Amino acid sequence: MKGALVLLAIDVGNTQTVIGAYDGERLAHSWRVATVKGQTGDEIRTTLSMLFLADGFDVSAVDGAVLSSVVPRLTGAWERALERMLGVQVLVCSAATAGDLFPANYGNPAEVGADRVADFIGARMRYGAPCVVVDFGTATNIELVDREGRFAGGIIAPGVETSANALFSLASKLTGTELVAPELPLGQSTDQAVRSGIVMGEADRVDGLVRRIFEQVGYTAPVVATGGLAGVIAPLSSCITEVNPDLTLEGLRALYEHKMA
């Protein structure tokens, strides 16, 4: 692989950070690490060096980087770390940098988070218009690419793990559980009941919200799921038509190629 990889795409979320190395359009390597909100640029470089060394990844092969971050205090640290490590200027994703890749029928496009911008770009590029993206992260984000290919708005709700952590922290008799669905919705133990409410409840919430979107706009569309828990929730959903765990990274790659062409 030496000399072939040209682009690093990084999605810094509130809970996890996903790093992808692209060889053209092919995602050749990917890593998922916990987001540490107090990290410095030097600490980020150390983390990256360890990941790359473990997989035998040659950082000298990279000649570009694109960054999405919803953690403002980490955005600059990641920029500095990548620029120092790679010797390249980092493209930071936003509605402004996306430009004509992010046509929006929205009150204030500048307030749309970088992850939502990247999801929109990736979905429109891969699936066309219209389509809906459901991103299962710290928040569950639902976005609509309308018939005209515009960002038409979305829904932001607490994510699966966020809801679970809130429940466990506030209900003293409930303890943590694995976030997988039970076989049946009616739990025969506290653990089954909690998993039914959290996991099955998330699938039904997404289905209900997507139906409301379709009722509002007057048409239906493919629904693509992404994010860390997409593979857990999607099989329980009646509206999700496809799972693409790399959609955010794909949007970042498309943004970089468009801006650097």
φ, ψ (nearest 5 deg) of residue 92: -100, 125
Query: Which residue has tokens 């990279």?
Result: 62
Out of 23, 100, 115, 207, pick the active-site residue. 115
SS3 225: strand
In the DSSP assignment, the letter for residue 89 is P
193: its two tokens: 């009941």
Q: Are 217 and 144 in contact (CB under 8 A)?
A: yes
- Give, in order, the Cα–Cα distances in Å from 96 to each of 99, 117, 128, 148, 210: 5, 10, 22, 20, 27
Q: What residues contact 168, with CB distance under 8 A and at least 6 apart?
A: 174, 175, 176
Query: Which residue has tokens 């307030």?
Result: 111
Determine whether 185 is exposed, middle or buried from the number of CB atoms within 10 Å of its CB (0-12, 13-18, 19+): middle
Nearest C-alpha neighbor of 222 from the set 197, 194, 242: 242
Is 100 designated active site?
no
Residues serving a catalytic function are: 115
